[in-house]
Amino acid sequence: MANSARRLPRLLRSTASEAPVYGRTPIGRSWTLESASGRQFSVGRVQKKAANKGGVSRAWNKDGCHIDRTRPTGSGHGWGARSTAKRSNAAPLIGVVAVVSAVTYVANAVKAGSKQAQDETDDGAVQVHSDSDDDENDEGSQGKIRLAEVTKHDRNSDTKWIIRGTSVYDITDFVDQHPGGEVILRACGGSIDPYWKIFNIHEKPEVYDILKEFHIGEIDDQDLGEDGQINWKVLGDAAEDFAVDDPFKYDPERDPNLIVRTAKPCNAETPGNLLDSFITPVRLFFVRNHLWVPRTHEAPQSITIELSDGEEKTYTVDDLKKKFKQYTITATLQCAGNRRSHMSKATHGPTSGLQWDVGAISTAEFTGVRLRDVLRDSGCGVEDDVPSPHQCDDEDADKHVHFSSPSDTYAASIPLQTALNPQADVLIAWDMNGEPLDRDHGGPLRALVPGTTAARSVKWLGHISINSEESTSQWQRRDYKCFGPNVKQKDASPEVWEKAQAIQETPVQSAITNIIKDDDGKKLTTRGFAFAGGGRSIIRVDVSADGGKTWKQAELQKDKAKGSRRWAWTLWSADWPTDELKKGQEHEFVVKAVDEAYNTQPEHFESIWNFRGCLANAWHSVRYQVQ
């Protein structure tokens, strides 16, 4: 049987919606399969071919349809791996590829020289016990499968098994078809359950149906506990490697001052009263993770640039340090969802995602090399004078630089024009506040795209390429977009998503972070930050103690920031003699800022409300009882 005939139909598109996963856009979906001839199949039409106990379950389309791979083979596994959405079919795949590909945190990096699992076998037949007949412990009673046997079929084995509940599945043939890419390898040789708890997009009948095709047996009773669940302890010392009960268990310790919005993945903001230093100490820098944090040996130690001829050029941190001019940039990073909790109080209703207060923003000094310099050195063929998409009808003019962490656990893109602009200061950075980048903030290497929403400053950066489309990741095509205030989540058709622009530069923003009464009670001081994207400096901050009826100008703190433009926030303060306030009454302190293009903040959230709750930059008001 030819390989092509055994492949699974390509997962084509998603439609249904589902509850949000850790604050990410809820984009659960049902799968539709497509044959090479364009015919579409529901999951139920996939033919069950064989499901023998202890044997191999194989499924293929009865039409023997050709399947376009959405991921190239031979690009390596684990933290060094990556996926590239097939250009011609990228659009309809956005949701599927992007979302599920988030899960490629494959522990235990590729063992050198091990046979890579993408190579398809010529025949599906696998003798389960072929190499373990001599090991009695591996022999399942009554044809059942011992846990120790399953553990042998890990990512490095020719045949890859997973456990769901107490059932065992051989997914060897499915790995290449997995819309989420190679992340699924991480579960091989163990249970997939902890991953599905995180990526609960899988928890639906259609997915169970697909999995059913690959069922090969049940875990032997000897390896079950009294509760009927797997007892990993039977593996002895090896238990820890396979009983992945908590993928977050290696996450770094965090400062207890941070306000944790979700623990797993860790999303934690800096408390307002600690936002008043121009440079935020690393330990207090807000944390925004979409997954668990890679362990030091899992994170990429180099950057690979994909060249136009398909070749690659790799730079280690040392290469970067030696070869290119180093720059230090003072940059404020802000989550696009900062102040979302304020927008959620608008009359239009709540928004989806992490309900940040004012602290999903921090400032640090980042050191690295200009992406521009590395791209030009790599031979990827970029010109200094990149043609503008406005200037010509040439589709190639609209190019994007894609950043991805290993195995597309996270991916995003920025316009090539930004990358090449020497005044845009886009860095590949290894240093934060004078120390090597820590794990939580993307070490050893991250992208730094100053003046742009933090979601584009990809952490654990391993791979860079230039493409004619934006990244197809969900973080580019879904999560970080805004819509008109009239667009409810239920109205968000694919066309609406497509039409909305991925957030890059961010609008002017400000917040009150602190109200302090001086010792003798004669003065209140309001303090806060103001920040605009695109390197636009803050030129004025207006403050009010009466809800915006009257204003005065705040004092702007004169901190020097490094960089070609103003990439850092401006801290401000305003004093209010208490005898000018009304004692015993609640005052509504308000702040709004003006950037160098005289952009201002909207007064209310209603006019900028969007169901994603992004870019919540209406005036910030804080009620305070004057004593």
429 touches a second copy (CB under 8 A):
no
Binding a second copy by CB under 8 A: which of 227, 309, 383, 385? 385
421 touches a second copy (CB under 8 A):
yes
37 touches a second copy (CB under 8 A):
no
Shortest Cβ 540–a second copy spacing (Å): 6
Identify the active-site residue in 77, 153, 186, 202: 202
Is residue 7 classed as helix, strand or coil in its secondary structure? Answer: coil
592 touches a second copy (CB under 8 A):
yes
Shortest Cβ 52–a second copy spacing (Å): 56
Distance from the first to the final alpha carbon of the chain: 83
Residue (12 or 420) nearer to a second copy, CB = 420
Beta strands in 311-448 (DSSP E): 312-316, 326-334, 361-370, 400-404, 411-415, 427-432, 435-436, 446-448
Residue (297 or 552) nearer to a second copy, CB = 552
208 touches a second copy (CB under 8 A):
no
Give DSSP secondary structure letters for 276-340: -SSSPPGGGS-EE-SSPPPPTTTS-SEEEEEPTTS-EEEEEHHHHHHHS-EEEEEEEEE-TTTTH
Q: Which residue has the tokens 């598109």?
A: 13
395 touches a second copy (CB under 8 A):
no
Binding a second copy by CB under 8 A: which of 37, 423, 585, 625? 423
For 406, residues 6+ apart whose C-beta sits below 8 A from its C-beta are 78, 79, 80, 81, 82, 104, 105, 106, 294, 298, 299, 300, 460, 462, 463
Region of 166-174, 360-368, 387-395, 433-441 interacting with a second copy (CB under 8 A) = 387-395
Binding a second copy by CB under 8 A: which of 384, 394, 519, 580? 384
Region of 45-53, 250-258, 468-476, 552-560 interacting with a second copy (CB under 8 A) = 552-560
Token reading at 588: 């509504």
546 touches a second copy (CB under 8 A):
no
Region of 98-106, 140-148, 261-269, 416-424 interacting with a second copy (CB under 8 A) = 416-424
Identify the active-site residue in 146, 288, 339, 441: 288
22 to 252, 261, 267, 486: CA distances (angstroms): 19, 10, 9, 25
Q: Catalytic site residue 348?
A: no
The answer to whether the CB of 278 falls within 8 A of the CB of 557 is yes
Q: Catalytic site residue 480?
A: yes
Of 367, 363, 366, the residue nearest 279 (C-alpha): 363
Q: Catalytic site residue 335?
A: yes
Q: Which residue has the tokens 């059942």?
A: 144
Residue (103 or 568) nearer to a second copy, CB = 568
- In angstroms, the CA 517 to CA 476 distance is 44
Region of 74-82, 168-176, 190-198, 555-563 interacting with a second copy (CB under 8 A) = 555-563
Number of helices followed by number of strands (H, E) in the chain: 12, 29
351 touches a second copy (CB under 8 A):
no
The answer to whether the CB of 620 falls within 8 A of the CB of 511 is yes
Q: Catalytic site residue 202?
A: yes
Shortest Cβ 411–a second copy spacing (Å): 21
Binding-residue pattern over the window 482 to 521 for a second copy, x denoting contact by CB under 8 A: x-xxx-------------xx-xxxxxx-------------
Residue (46 or 508) nearer to a second copy, CB = 508
Q: What are phi and psi of 404, to 5 degrees?
A: -145, 145
Helix (H) or strand (E) holding 93: helix 90-100
Amino acid in position 527: R
Shortest Cβ 483–a second copy spacing (Å): 8
Q: Catalytic site residue 380?
A: no
Amino acid in position 388: S
> What radius of gyration do the chain's Cα atoms show?
26
Catalog residues that contact a second copy under the rule CB under 8 A.
Answer: 330, 384-385, 388, 390-391, 393, 417, 421-423, 482, 484-486, 500-501, 503-508, 532-534, 536-537, 539-540, 542, 548, 550-553, 560-566, 568, 592, 594, 596-604, 607-608, 615
Q: State the catalytic residues.
A: 178, 202, 288, 335, 480
